[in-house]
Structure 1
Amino acid sequence: MSEIKKLAGQTLWYGVPTIVSRFLGYLMNMALPFLFLQPAKTADITQVYAIIPFLNVLFTYGMETAYFRFSQEKDKQHLYNTLSVSLFVTTIIFTLALWLNRGVLAEAASLTEHPEYITLMCGIILFDTLATLPFARLRQESRPRRYAFVRVAGIIVNLLIVFFFLGFLPGYVEQNPESPVRLILNLDIGIGWYLIGNLLGSIATFLLLIPELRSVRWEFDTALWKEVMKYSYPLIIVGLGGMINDMLSRLVYQHVVDLPAEEAKHQLGIFANIYRLAVLVTIMIQAFRMAAEPFFFNQSKQEGAQRSYARVMKFFVIACCFMFLMIGLYLDLLKWIITLKSEAWGEAMYIVPILAMGNIFLGIYYNLSIWYKLTGKNLYGAYITIGGAILTIILNIILIPKLQYLGAALATFSCYLLMMVASYVSGQKFYPVPYATKKLVSYLALVTIILLVHRGILYFYNPLWFSILTGSILLLAFLLFVARVEKKELASFGAFGQWAGRVIG
């Protein structure tokens, strides 16, 4: 239990910057309907942010996970030096190649009206990649507070830039038309400030990581590098496949949907904003991953490691179930907020629970995937991800033209379901872990039924106050149910767990 408590504590600390990042990003997304009444105006920025994750995988080529893996058996400083030198050299080369081909990329991504977006993207990728190993070292050394501080600082810089130039400055210039700062607005950067804020936030993060970067010594062990690359190259395939599964719908939506160009941009802007409303689930997944990956590697040589992994999975699924209900049961409240200025932004809210459950499947898959990382069978991870990517491509091409928003959501849901099941089946064959499978499936089924019951009630009577009240009652009922079922587990969590056990009887 002490290991579980440690993981929970580190998840909280890694979750702080993740929650802040996602929440601030959520605020910026929530601001889009107030800053831009037409969703189509946000389509170009959606394209850029659909490209960046693919480039992140290529630029980092599995170095982060490889560092966790080899730090268990190699000299940590020597490993850190070799991987840092490799990443620095390739980042410079890749960024230069990307910048030289920015015109071709802008045309391929339908960004010819804003080629400067590609230049800004090059800068973001450059600084984010150089920060990869310093952040990995902080995680491997269990320094979540330092990690949280640097992450949050970069996020705050990003936020201040965006809200100053898009939120404060237009109103100030309107009240002070003779102010020289009006020249900034005359540049007509618009939503491009999102990218500028991101770039400046990435630079701030990089500068704050200078103490970690200064510890790098210019040495390169070719034999060690080859050994690391043999381990990590399948992770590139896994990463690219994962990005196809996660980002492809937004990347191709306006190209495959059977609509005029302007309407396609309109729908892409809405779909991208709707997709991010699953933010609470993705917060949980991302925060957990930050803490869990080094934890799993460090725990792998301990007696009873598989039992620890099974318990971690149970707590993870329970937490995700609560996140799912918080999104689904308060969906009407979310819709009311984002449609205050324009009803158009409320389209497709019905697909949010589908995307949220799909992301829970993805989180479970991340838990399950530890088996091939621990056993060195990374190619199996590549096969599973490629299978998911193929399914994603096929379903997006078939379903989006017919079902539009719903088609994209079903493609994501189906892909992550397939990957989760495939990883569970193969993992139990090569690295069996005693997961409480029936209980976890029951929890997932139960929250789905609860959500359907809530929507069924609202079919007959649906004022906002009633939706919030009934949603809260159902959420509380699930909380009490889980607390009663997991009463013994709660008792092992010290004073709080014992108090909770007495409350539920």
Structure 2
Amino acid sequence: MNLRQLVSQTAIYGLSSIVGRFLNYLLVPLYTYTYSAAEYGVVSEFYAYAGFFAVVLALGLETGYFRFRQNPAYASDTIYANALSLLTLANTGFLAAVAYWRQDLADWLRYPDHPEYLVWFAAILALDGITALPFARLRAENHAWRFAGIKLSEIAMTIALNLFFLLLCPKLAQHWPDAAWLRFYDPTLGVGYIFIANLIASLTKWLLLMPQFRRIPVNLNPALLGPMLRYSLPMVVIGFAGMVNEMLDRAILKILLPYDLTTNLKLLGIYGACYKLSILMSLFVQAFRYAGEPFFFAYAGRADAKRAYALVMRYFVIAGVFIFLLVTLFIDFFQYFIGAEYRAGLEVVPILLMANLLLGIYVNLAIWYKLADRTGLGAWVALAGAALTVALNIYWIPLWGYVGSAWATLACYAFMAAASWLLGRHYYPVPYPLARIFSYLLLGIGLYFANRWTLREYHWNAWLSGSLGLMIYLAVVAAFDLKPLIRRS
């Protein structure tokens, strides 16, 4: 894969992620206008837990597969068969354990009346864990369009089922309460139908990936799996620590907020909904990660690899700051994607957008430990970031509420990016354009505060002020980066 392929495949992954996740994101208004903040807090909490388990159940074998398939000592199909067999065994065991202890787990999570939530979520996680490797193979073999098609099909199914369960079924039950098929619809299940829709969509995804499972023998070779796991398991630590940074706030807000359970769930729902407003940055980082990881490994042996990595970082930051400004300067438009009750938390959106941009910078910087086979050191960086997240959340949530969680996320990703850069200088030095990177970050933050000042002091039209700020940024980018790039081309 070359730089042009990286850009094109990032566009494909980005298009599928942005279009798909944006369509899925349109469910947020449905949820926030249908359910109270306390009810939506239950959804936010469960999906926070899901993030942790998704990392553990993938066993880090996506990155391990990318690394080992480049090794001529191993056949690619053999590596794939062993990794897929291990993932299937581990995820099936996880689902069986949750199903067996479902009531005990539901009591512990304070949802004693809904143990079925846990079984449904365990099934979703198991299907996602098993299908992680087929998706990795599609990425490695540059089947970006098939990858995108399956992802979009899953999201389309999720949307259709949510609309069916949350909008159509209540209306049909109201007009034809004695219809026979309504025996399968229980309005008291509430947010449970969100989980059911997700489960059916995950089953659909698994069926669409069946060609990647055919003619794959069950194979558990310790001589191969041993080295793979030694390389991959630190990625679990890194991914789990990343989930601590990304999801811990929504998992523990219910516990650390100094109010009663109902109020805590309401505030959790507000924070979870406002977190969704940073979705564009998250989508951009995710799309880049999908295309970037295969590119970094494939490009590593070239003489100009480090120069290419520096160039990638430079334009990643330019695009990331643009997304930051797009959302923050036009927040008056984006706020209508969530219900009025949830808009009390809009102050966290700029903080979370910048935090996710720093996460993307860390993703770029962290290539050093993957290429230098220092995943253990990468794990220590992630663990240190997770420890910082835990400490800051415990300290700041009782003081500042969910705003403290947002600042903790930003502080963590800033620390991890700095630590990764310092270690990378020693183990895999890349000439990143630090002055240019910091200049664009400061320009974006400065334009955001200038926009707030003009709105507050001079009562400018919000659209006019936001458009002016965005135009200034694009003019600077055109003068200092696009023109020189076009001239060199």
User: Which bin holds the TM-score, normalised by the shorter protein?
Assistant: over 0.9
Match of 1:500 in 2: none
1:97 aligns with 2:97: yes
The separation in 1 between residues aligned to 2:438 and 2:172, in whole angstroms, is 54
The separation in 1 between residues aligned to 2:359 and 2:386, in whole angstroms, is 13
Aligned to 2:475, which of 480, 487, 490? 480
Residue identity matched to 1:480: A
Kindly provide the CA deviation profile for residues 241-267 of structure 1, in whole angstroms up to 9, marking residues without a partner as x: 111111100000010010111110110
Match of 1:299 in 2: 299
- Deviation of 1:187 after TM superposition, in Å, equals 4.4
The separation in 2 between residues aligned to 1:217 and 1:15, in whole angstroms, is 33
Kindly indicate whether the alpha-carbon contact (under 8 Å) linking 1:60 and 1:129 is maintained by their aligned counterparts in 2. Answer: yes
- Deviation of 1:365 after TM superposition, in Å, equals 0.5
The separation in 2 between residues aligned to 1:229 and 1:479, in whole angstroms, is 45
Kindly provide the CA deviation profile for residues 29-82 of structure 1, in whole angstroms up to 9, marking residues without a partner as x: 12222212x211111111110111111122111110000000001210111111
Kindly indicate whether the alpha-carbon contact (under 8 Å) linking 2:38 and 2:268 is maintained by their aligned counterparts in 1. Answer: yes
Residue identity matched to 2:114: H
1:237 aligns with 2:234: no
Residue identity matched to 2:480: V
Match of 1:498 in 2: none
Q: Using a 3 Å threshold, how does the CA distance of structure 1 residues 288 and 361 change in structure 2: closer, same or farther? A: same
Normalising by structure 1, we get a TM-score of 0.93
> Over the residues paired in the alignment, what is the CA RMSD in angstroms?
1.7
Match of 1:501 in 2: none
Kindly provide the CA deviation profile for residues 134-184 of structure 1, in whole angstroms up to 9, marking residues without a partner as x: 100000001101111111111111110001111233234334445445444
Secondary structure of the structure 2 residue equivalent to 1:410 = helix
**Corresponding pairs, count:** 487
Once structures 1 and 2 are overlaid, which stretch shifts more, 211-220 or 311-320?
Answer: 211-220
Aligned to 2:45, which of 44, 47, 63? 47
1:17 aligns with 2:12: no
Match of 1:414 in 2: 411
The separation in 2 between residues aligned to 1:388 and 1:12, in whole angstroms, is 30
1:467 aligns with 2:465: no
Match of 1:201 in 2: 201
The separation in 1 between residues aligned to 2:367 and 2:148, in whole angstroms, is 24
- Deviation of 1:479 after TM superposition, in Å, equals 1.0
Q: 1:168-187 counterparts in 2 under 5 A?
A: 168-187=168-187
1:26 aligns with 2:21: no
Match of 1:385 in 2: 382
The separation in 2 between residues aligned to 1:181 and 1:272, in whole angstroms, is 34
Kindly indicate whether the alpha-carbon contact (under 8 Å) linking 1:82 and 1:219 is maintained by their aligned counterparts in 2. Answer: yes
Q: Using a 3 Å threshold, how does the CA distance of structure 1 residues 121 and 186 change in structure 2: closer, same or farther? A: closer
Residue identity matched to 2:435: K
- Deviation of 1:14 after TM superposition, in Å, equals 1.2
The separation in 2 between residues aligned to 1:489 and 1:226, in whole angstroms, is 49
Match of 2:60 in 1: 62
The separation in 1 between residues aligned to 2:119 and 2:187, in whole angstroms, is 17
Kindly indicate whether the alpha-carbon contact (under 8 Å) linking 2:273 and 2:338 is maintained by their aligned counterparts in 1. Answer: no
- Deviation of 1:488 after TM superposition, in Å, equals 4.0
The separation in 2 between residues aligned to 1:18 and 1:493, in whole angstroms, is 31
Kindly indicate whether the alpha-carbon contact (under 8 Å) linking 2:21 and 2:155 is maintained by their aligned counterparts in 1. Answer: no
Residue identity matched to 1:426: L
Kindly indicate whether the alpha-carbon contact (under 8 Å) linking 2:26 and 2:337 is maintained by their aligned counterparts in 1. Answer: no
Once structures 1 and 2 are overlaid, which stretch shifts more, 239-248 or 84-93?
Answer: 84-93
Q: Using a 3 Å threshold, how does the CA distance of structure 1 residues 462 and 372 change in structure 2: closer, same or farther? A: same
Secondary structure of the structure 1 residue equivalent to 2:105 = helix
Identity in percent: 35
Kindly indicate whether the alpha-carbon contact (under 8 Å) linking 1:333 and 1:468 is maintained by their aligned counterparts in 2. Answer: no
Secondary structure of the structure 2 residue equivalent to 1:347 = helix
The separation in 1 between residues aligned to 2:11 and 2:155, in whole angstroms, is 17
The separation in 2 between residues aligned to 1:90 and 1:138, in whole angstroms, is 22
The separation in 1 between residues aligned to 2:254 and 2:357, in whole angstroms, is 26
Residue identity matched to 1:378: T
- Deviation of 1:17 after TM superposition, in Å, equals 2.4
The separation in 1 between residues aligned to 2:408 and 2:402, in whole angstroms, is 10
Structure 2: state its 5+ residue gaps: none
Kindly provide the CA deviation profile for residues 194-223 of structure 1, in whole angstroms up to 9, marking residues without a partner as x: 111111111000000111110412233221
Residue identity matched to 2:309: Y
Match of 1:503 in 2: none
Aligned to 1:348, which of 325, 345, 351? 345
Match of 2:399 in 1: 402
Residue identity matched to 1:66: G
Normalising by structure 2, we get a TM-score of 0.96
Match of 1:502 in 2: none
Q: Using a 3 Å threshold, how does the CA distance of structure 1 residues 179 and 449 change in structure 2: closer, same or farther? A: same
Residue identity matched to 1:145: W
Match of 2:320 in 1: 320
Residue identity matched to 1:222: P
Q: 1:56-455 counterparts in 2 under 5 A?
A: 56-73=54-71, 74-339=74-339, 343-455=340-452
Secondary structure of the structure 2 residue equivalent to 1:188 = helix
Residue identity matched to 1:154: E
